[in-house]
Homo-oligomer: A and B are copies of this chain.
């Protein structure tokens, strides 16, 4: 069983006493080839089980019909959905996805980006990792004239197309809702403030308090409570205060909200009566805890599709040189009110 070379357009040409050019044209459905021979070529190609070599084609054409994706984690709900959305939209256009995960490591992020550049991807879609503050690898992408699109976790200082959630508005909505439910001392679990998305959520929290005439109370704000465990620790700390909060907005994630719920329940607080809880991200499990957790849906799947659509729209407009206009597309997330904050009405 010899390794058997793949059949090329030359093989087809030889068989039909034609040249490779005609075969190439026929297979690309060019109009400059007689319908009759075209049909013949297509038929024999199928018979010979011809598979085009995308590598060669792309090299020749100078493009890869491929979009590179760099995400911190590909098995986290939010990112997995973004990717799924991207995949759906790009597939329809015959594009492929090359996916890398940075694993929240700055070093690996750099390597991923470089790999994608080397692969000659037509576009790079990235959600940066928490770590790091030097973004020359991304500036490099821009300098190479490769369209760069940032999603969700974006670097403000880079002039690229950005697709983000309106984190501030969503957080505002969440806190306003809690206030409307009668909560008056609302605590905040905030994320690392070096990242824009978490700063925005904090801003929404502050504005909602201000607009309602409620004071901002420093001791009710806990930093960087990202996980379930940290959420638990933070909420224990908050609930042990002389004047504990009557609600907690876990702006970091639903996981931290879950930590809050567990601690609160263990400490004898009744949710939502003694304590209101709101998370962020609409993870599946928020629907099935008891009580179910109020949260914010980010339309992650749609965000992926939006990114792809934007890319294609720009491609179609600008022709070959897709210089994507830097701007910010803000997807407005939706507050999902559930039992953990429903006290009235």
A306 in the interface (beta carbon within 8 A): no
A49: interface (CB < 8 Å)? yes
Hey, what's the 0/1 contact readout for A197-219 against B, CB within 8 Å counting as 1? 00000000000000000000000
Please give, as numbers and ranges, the residues of chain B lying within 8 Å of A97 by CB-CB distance: 98-100
Contact (Cβ within 8 A) A81 B87: no
Interface of A is mostly: mixed
Given known A3-B321, A145-B4, A285-B285, contact A53–B87 (CB-CB < 8 A):
no
Q: A80-B75, A144-B6 are in contact. Are A59 and B53 (CB under 8 A)?
A: yes
Contact present for A118 and B73 (CB under 8 Å): no
CB of A115 closer than 8 Å to a CB of B: yes
Nearest chain B CB to A208 CB, angstrom units: 28
A65 smallest CB distance to B (angstroms)? 10
User: Given the complex, which residues of B lie within 8 Å of A53, measured CB to CB?
Assistant: 59, 118, 120
Interface size range of chain A in the complex: 35 or more
Residues A84 and B101 in contact in the complex (CB < 8 Å), given A75-B301, A118-B52, A144-B6 = yes
Say whether A119 contacts B55, CB under 8 Å.
yes
Q: How far is the CA of A103 from the CA of B145 in the complex (A)?
A: 33
Residues of chain B within 8 A (CB-CB) of A143 are 49
Contacts of A100 in B (CB 8 A): 87, 91, 96-97
Q: Does A51 contact B (CB under 8 A)?
A: yes
In whole angstroms, how far apart are the Cα atoms of A53 and B58 in the complex? 11
Report yes or no: A101 in contact with B87, Cβ–Cβ below 8 A.
yes
Residue A315 at the chain B interface, CB threshold 8 Å: no
A290 — which chain B residues lie within 8 A by C-beta? Answer: 290
Mark A130-163 against chain B: 1 for CB-CB distance below 8 A, else 0.
0000000000100111000000000000000000
Whether B114 and A87, one on each chain, are in contact in the complex, defined by CB atoms closer than 8 angstroms, is no
Known: A49-B140, A59-B59, A75-B83. A119 touches B145 (CB 8 A): no
Against B, the Cβ 8 Å flags (1 = close, 0 = not) of A1-18 are 001101000000000000
A-B contact pairs, 7 of them (CB 8 A): A55-B55, A55-B59, A75-B83, A76-B80, A83-B99, A87-B99, A98-B99
Q: A59-B59, A96-B115 are in contact. List 4 more A-B contacts (CB 8 A).
A: A54-B119, A74-B87, A91-B100, A284-B285
- Residue numbers of A with Cβ under 8 A of B are 3-4, 6, 49, 51-56, 58-59, 64, 66, 73-77, 80-81, 83-84, 87-88, 91, 96-101, 103, 108, 114-115, 117-120, 140, 143-145, 258, 283-285, 288-290, 301, 321
